[in-house]
Amino acid sequence: MIAGIVGNSAIILLYLVTRTVGIPFFGPGAGEIEEVGLLDVGATVAEATLVVALGALLLRQLSRQDMALALLGLLSAGLILLHLPHIVLFFRLIFG
């Protein structure tokens, strides 16, 4: 389950980076930003749903104390994910 959460979260993160900053970070095509498409968004929403479902399954297996720590970690990760576009735009403004 953890591998599924980490793997799908990494794909979501890569999607956000390619749509805001662009990859690769160096070379002739550096910084080319991909367009956002309907199928892209649908696939990313499906991956996010899978991450939430796997997280819920994982939480059901934990004790109360472990569940509180896991929820704190998930909320922290969610907060960072929600602010990722702001963070990326900030770094684009600073570093060009």
| Per-residue pLDDT tens digits for 61-94 | 888 888 888 788 878 877 877 777 777 777 777 7
The pLDDT > 70 percentage for the chain reads 97
Locate the domains of the chain by residue range: 2-95
Nearest one of 19, 18, 10 to 50, comparing CA atoms: 10
